[in-house]
């Protein structure tokens, strides 16, 4: 572990994290004691991982870390445990990178959306991440897996290593796409002109401007009241967040288009403090690495269930599910084509062009291959494409999550164990 200043050490002790320090520093290396045959760890080995979670324990985003924790503790025979600090209670998500780097926390999910200046390639790739299947059953695992495959490219791993943090699995998308949701129904392109639309980021800002709406930035916790009072007319967001915030209660329409999507959230990664990682015995690293599929599975299943819940609640309230008006769809399609066609000429400054191009190509190929595998090999292409019809047919209950995660493990996790890191 990196040395910590006295003030930080006092703060850590005050929050009950001294045990993590002692376990990590005192038990980080190999032991001369007997080896437990089941886990491969020294019998006297103990390690506590101090983890900062983005959301609370019941939030859909936490489905990943909860499953990850359970898998690691089971594989290690209880020798590796977690001390989870929920919903930014220890450090805010915007400081996850520096907090992991400095050893304030051992592990966390970092997001390029919250720290764009640190991850320029991931933010740049956000302009082409809209290109996913129109089928929810395919698009959600497609985005998760294709982003993670791109995250193993040299450019993306180097982007995290440049921040002095060790990436475990990087690049995955926490939402495949976003939807336009409105307090009053949109029936024509002229209805969108001048409408105030809350957007979460720069890609969605440009997307709503493409068809004449006015983007508004505000925290998600303020959206419900803003829709209720008419401070904003619509919101662009993912369905699972809409479920969490109860937006369906003040909406009348969810725009679900079969051809064009609003850009989702790319650039998430599980990272660990470099000294904390390097000090572990290889058996501990392997246990953590082999438990990554559990993280991906828990995240995927909990998130898709939240999507289903929002749609079910929206159907109960008789919300209208409609596509974009033709003219708005055409404007959005033109913007997306421009992004795709000009992406390689807009590589961020101070970024190696060859490495960035490789990441771009890996991401494009991975999206195509995962869509084919999920749709054809796993049969998800047989499920309804229209969102309301998909949910009415059982939604995510029709997805064989075990097969999806087995494929992610086989293709992305097992072959990429970071030997020597």
C-alpha to C-alpha distance for 373 and 356, rounded to whole angstroms: 26
For residue 91, CA distances in Å to 83, 97, 111, 161, 171 come to 14, 10, 14, 21, 22
- E strand spans, 293-414: 320-322
Considering the domain boundaries, does residue 273 fall inside one? yes
Whether 363 is covered by a domain: the verdict is: no
Whether the CB-CB separation of 166 and 421 falls below 8 Å is answered with yes
Residue 346 lies in a domain: no
DSSP class of residue 410?
A: I
pLDDT tens digit sequence for 6-64: 233 333 333 333 333 334 443 444 455 799 999 999 999 999 999 999 999 999 999 99
- The stretches in the chain having pLDDT less than 50 are 1-30
Q: How many CA atoms lie within 13 A of 166 on its CB side?
A: 22
Using a cut of 0.85, tell me whether the model's pTM lies above it. Answer: yes
Cα–Cα dist 118/123, whole Å: 9
Q: What are the structure tokens assigned to 113, written together?
A: 């959306």
Average pLDDT in the chain:
91
Q: Is residue 228 part of a domain?
A: no
Contacts of 56 (CB under 8 A, 6+ apart): 62, 86, 87
Express each pLDDT in 80-102 by its tens digit.
Answer: 999 999 999 999 999 999 999 99
- Backbone torsions φ then ψ of 169, nearest 5 degrees: -130, 125
Count of structural domains, the chain: 1
In a domain, 311, yes or no: no
pLDDT at 350: 87
Please say whether the beta carbons of 97 and 110 come within 8 A.
yes
How many angstroms separate the CA atoms of 292 and 271, rounded?
Answer: 12
pLDDT for 420 = 55
Beta-ladder partners of 86 = none
Residue 75, domain CATH:
3.40.190.170
pLDDT score of 261? 87
In this structure, are residues 213 and 197 in contact, taking their beta carbons and an 8 Å threshold?
yes
Predicted pLDDT at 407: 96
Cα gap 390→402, rounded to integer Å: 20
In a domain, 349, yes or no: no
Instruction: Supply the pLDDT for residue 157.
Output: 95
Query: Cβ contacts of residue 167 below 8 Å, gap of 6+?
Result: 151, 156, 157, 160, 161, 269, 270, 271
Q: Is 411 a domain residue?
A: yes
Residue 111 belongs to a domain: yes
Q: What is the pLDDT of residue 14?
A: 37
For the chain, the distance separating the N- and C-terminal CA atoms, rounded to the nearest angstrom, is 15
Helices (H), 28-130: 63-75, 96-101, 120-125
What is the domain extent for residue 164? 6-176+265-306+395-416
């Amino acid at each position: 572990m990196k040395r910590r200043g006295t003030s930080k050490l006092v703060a850590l002790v005050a929050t009950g994290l001294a045990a993590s320090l002692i376990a990590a520093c005192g038990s980080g290396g190999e032991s001369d004691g007997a080896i437990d045959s089941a886990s491969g760890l020294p019998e006297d080995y103990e390690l506590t991982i101090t983890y900062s979670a983005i959301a609370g324990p019941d939030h859909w985003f936490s489905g990943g870390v909860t499953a990850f924790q359970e898998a690691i503790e089971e594989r290690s025979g209880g020798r590796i445990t977690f001390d989870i600090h929920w919903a930014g209670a220890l450090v805010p998500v915007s400081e996850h990178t520096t907090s992991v780097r400095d050893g304030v926390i051992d592990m966390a999910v970092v997001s390029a959306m919250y720290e764009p200046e640190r991850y320029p390639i991931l933010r740049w790739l956000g302009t082409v991440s809209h290109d996913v299947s129109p089928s929810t059953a395919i698009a959600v695992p497609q985005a998760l897996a294709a982003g993670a495959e791109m995250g193993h490219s040299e450019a993306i791993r180097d982007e995290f290593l440049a921040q002095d943090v060790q990436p475990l699995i990087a690049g995955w998308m926490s939402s495949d796409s976003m939807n336009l949701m409105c307090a009053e129904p949109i029936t024509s392109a002229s209805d969108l002109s001048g409408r105030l639309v809350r957007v979460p980021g720069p890609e969605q800002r440009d997307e709503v401007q493409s068809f004449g709406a006015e983007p508004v930035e505000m925290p998600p916790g303020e959206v419900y009241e803003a829709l209720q009072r008419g401070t904003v007319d619509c919101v662009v967001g993912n369905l699972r967040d809409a479920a969490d915030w109860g937006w369906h209660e003040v909406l009348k329409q969810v725009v679900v288009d079969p051809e064009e999507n609003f850009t989702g959230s790319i650039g998430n990664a599980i990272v660990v403090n470099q000294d904390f990682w390097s000090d572990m015995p290889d058996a501990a690293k392997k246990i953590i690495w082999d438990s990554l599929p559990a993280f991906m599975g828990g995240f995927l299943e909990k998130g898709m269930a939240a999507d289903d819940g929002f749609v079910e609640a929206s159907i109960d309230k008789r919300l209208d599910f409609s596509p974009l008006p033709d003219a708005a769809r055409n404007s959005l399609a033109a913007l997306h084509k421009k992004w795709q066609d000009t992406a390689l000429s807009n590589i961020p400054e101070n970024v190696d062009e060859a490495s960035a191009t490789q990441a771009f190509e890996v991401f494009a190929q991975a999206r195509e291959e995962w869509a084919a595998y999920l749709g054809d090999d796993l049969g998800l292409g047989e499920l309804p494409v229209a969102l309301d019809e998909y949910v009415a047919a059982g939604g995510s209950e029709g997805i064989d999550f075990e097969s999806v995660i087995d494929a992610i493990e086989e293709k992305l996790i097992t072959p990429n164990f970071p030997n020597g890191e």
